[in-house]
């Protein structure tokens, strides 16, 4: 039996997770994520496959974040015909995330083609279309946590809870039989303890090889519980000034976590019951998926549901779908909280809320998520004096509060602890899904603990056995 692992994406960088596990002539792809970056790199990297998609026997998908699932439609567009295994909540979330991603691809290429037409350049095709996304959804097969299934005749697989986002599952692969079994664990992405609504990550007892993420390989987070009190303080200060609280948030997971905290704060009378709006059709749809997958929640959330607590604030919060309702908020001068997308303030309805509130010192912008370089969100975090929104210059006079305690990723301590808790330690650990400094920090930490850690290169193949 020959077992090989090829790192096809998401190594020495955060996005684009794609890894190929080959056992003799059987090939399983672990994740098929989109690389996210500048447009030219984006098209080039995401459309080049190291393997022939038509020859893959299966895909095992860890979770619905676009940097893990977003290239599935492109895989199908290029000949992949088999099944994509994932948990049931991941399957439900992918329906929304992949269609939304396809819509963005189509809109982006329309914009590019407008410019190309003007310059007499050839018109381009989107990376994939809504039809391709629909085609990929037909391939999804839901499997339960902790229940072994056969991805191919000789590759067994079990999903363990990753505690990262709803539905996230880290697969443990088993190839071969008896004494010759090789166990390969995949912890990309790995969540953290005490994330609202989610169960804590499962520990894995043993593996011969481990592939682990390193997004925060060299950084430690604040305690997650701090997020709630910091949020309350920012809201109370703003209410005191008669202002509005604007929260840019990712539609998946972060919006639901913020809503969960807000509903707890109101129930506990820690903040006044001012109007709260979730202004994003995608976030509304995702919240519905959460409510249909409460069996994936942690015990605390399940207990609250038993007491019929409105944990996602369906009766407390106004979920806004139409553009008209969204625009009406501009004319409402009462103190209120608006949660909107996109999370990094690059597009979407958050832009008109920011334009409308950013120049008033009574208002507060609360940052609860990661802001990449060169985004409006990052400029707000860095408290630029002035920023551009829709091409116009605005003075940043609103208060900016950055809450670092919200993070769905294990930090440097959690990552090392995850490995040290294993009863039988892996003989080799592959460190992926991180900028190089973070991957190096984690690899160094693991080595200090007597473990063998390695940072693979893109398209590098290793032999396991």
State the residues that interact with Zn ion by CB under 5 A.
Answer: 65, 67, 189
CB 112 within 8 A of CB 136: no
Do 214 and 445 meet the contact criterion of CB atoms below 8 Å apart? Answer: no
Cβ 100 to Zn ion shortest distance, Å: 16
Q: Which is nearer to Zn ion, 189 or 228 (CB)?
A: 189
Q: What is the CA radius of gyration of the chain?
A: 22
- Evaluated on CA atoms 65, 11, 45, 62, the torsion sign reads negative
115 contacts: CB under 8 Å, gap ≥ 6:
121
Q: Among residues 13 and 136, whose Cβ is nearest to Zn ion?
A: 13
Strand partners, 28: 21, 58
Q: Is 64 exposed, middle or buried (0-12, 13-18, 19+ CB in 10 A)?
A: buried
Residue closer to Zn ion by CB (options 65, 139) is 65
Q: Which is nearer to Zn ion, 84 or 262 (CB)?
A: 84
- Give backbone dihedrals phi and psi of 413, rounded to 5 degrees, phi first: -75, -40
Minimum CB distance to Zn ion, residue 369 (Å): 12
Q: How far is the CB of 68 from Zn ion (least distance, A)?
A: 6
For Zn ion, which residue has the nearest CB? 65
CA angle 10, 293, 350 (to 5 degrees): 60
Closest CB to Zn ion among residues 189, 257? 189
Q: Least distance from C-beta 67 to Zn ion, angstroms?
A: 4
Rounded to whole angstroms, the Cα distance separating 423 from 419 reads: 9
The residues that bridge with 365 in the sheet, in sequence order, are 246, 400
Q: Which is nearer to Zn ion, 65 or 77 (CB)?
A: 65
Strand ranges, E, within 65-181: 83-86, 140-142, 149-152, 155-161, 169-175
Q: Which is nearer to Zn ion, 188 or 317 (CB)?
A: 188
For residues 447 and 462, give the distance between their C-alpha atoms in angstroms, rounded to a whole number.
19
Burial class (CB in 10 A: 0-12, 13-18, 19+), 302: middle
CB of 159 to Zn ion, least distance (A): 15
Taking the complex as a whole, the smallest distance from the CB of residue 420 to Zn ion amounts, in Å, to: 23
Instruction: Name the residue nearer to Zn ion (CB basis): 269 or 373.
Output: 373
Place of tokens 């009190």: 229
Q: Which is nearer to Zn ion, 252 or 271 (CB)?
A: 252
Supply the minimum distance, in Å, between the C-beta of residue 191 and Zn ion. Answer: 9
Are 8 and 38 in contact by the 8 Å Cβ rule? The answer is no
CB of 320 to Zn ion, least distance (A): 26
CA gap 290, 217 in Å, rounded = 29
If the CB atoms of residues 352 and 409 are measured against Zn ion, the closer one turns out to be 409
E strand or H helix that includes residue 203: none
The nearest distance, CB 239 to Zn ion, in angstroms, is 33
DSSP characters over 340-388: ES-TTSSSSTHHHHHHHHTT-TT-EEEE-S---TTSHHHHHHTT-SEEE
Closest distance to Zn ion from the beta carbon of 426 (Å): 21
């Amino acid at each position: 039996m020959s077992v090989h692992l090829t790192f096809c994406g998401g190594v020495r960088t955060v996005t684009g997770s794609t890894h190929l596990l080959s056992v003799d002539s059987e090939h399983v792809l672990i994740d098929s994520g989109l690389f996210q970056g500048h447009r030219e790199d984006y098209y080039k990297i995401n459309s080049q496959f190291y393997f022939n998609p038509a020859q893959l026997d299966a895909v095992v998908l860890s979770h619905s974040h676009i940097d893990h699932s977003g290239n599935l439609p492109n895989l199908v567009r290029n000949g992949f015909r088999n099944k994509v295994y994932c948990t049931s909540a991941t399957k439900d979330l992918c329906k929304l995330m992949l269609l939304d991603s396809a819509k963005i691809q189509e809109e982006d290429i329309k914009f590019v083609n407008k410019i190309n037409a003007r310059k007499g350049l050839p018109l381009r095709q989107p990376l994939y279309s809504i039809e391709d996304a629909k085609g990929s959804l037909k391939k999804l097969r839901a499997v339960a946590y902790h229940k072994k299934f056969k991805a191919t005749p000789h590759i067994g697989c079990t999903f363990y809870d990753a505690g990262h986002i709803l539905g996230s599952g880290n697969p443990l692969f088993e190839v071969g039989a008896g004494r010759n079994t090789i166990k390969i664990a995949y912890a990309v992405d790995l969540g953290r303890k005490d994330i609202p609504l989610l169960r804590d990550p499962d520990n894995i007892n043993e593996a011969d090889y481990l592939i682990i993420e390193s997004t925060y390989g060299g950084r430690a987070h604040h305690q997650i519980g701090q997020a709630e009190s910091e949020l309350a303080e920012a809201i109370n200060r703003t209410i005191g000034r008669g202002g509005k609280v604007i929260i840019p948030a990712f539609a998946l997971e972060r919006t639901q976590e913020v809503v969960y905290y807000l509903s707890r704060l109101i129930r506990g009378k820690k903040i006044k019951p001012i109007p709260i709006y979730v202004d994003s059709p995608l976030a509304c749809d995702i919240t519905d998926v959460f409510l249909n997958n409460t069996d994936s929640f942690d015990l605390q959330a399940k207990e609250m549901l038993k007491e019929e607590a409105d944990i996602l604030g369906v009766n407390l919060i106004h979920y806004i779908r139409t553009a008209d309702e969204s625009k009406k908020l501009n004319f409402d001068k009462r103190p209120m909280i608006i949660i909107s997308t996109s999370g990094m303030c690059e597009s979407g309805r958050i832009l008109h809320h920011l334009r409308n509130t950013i120049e008033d010192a009574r208002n507060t912008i609360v940052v609860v998520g990661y802001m990449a370089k060169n985004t409006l969100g990052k400029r707000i975090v860095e408290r630029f004096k002035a920023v551009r929104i829709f091409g116009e210059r605005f003075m940043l006079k609103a208060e900016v509060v950055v809450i670092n305690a919200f993070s769905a990723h294990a930090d440097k301590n959690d990552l090392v602890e995850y490995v040290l808790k294993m009863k039988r330690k892996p003989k080799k650990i592959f460190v992926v899904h991180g900028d190089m400094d973070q991957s190096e920090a984690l690899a160094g930490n693991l080595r200090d603990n007597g473990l063998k850690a390695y940072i693979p290169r893109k398209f590098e193949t290793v032999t396991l056995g």
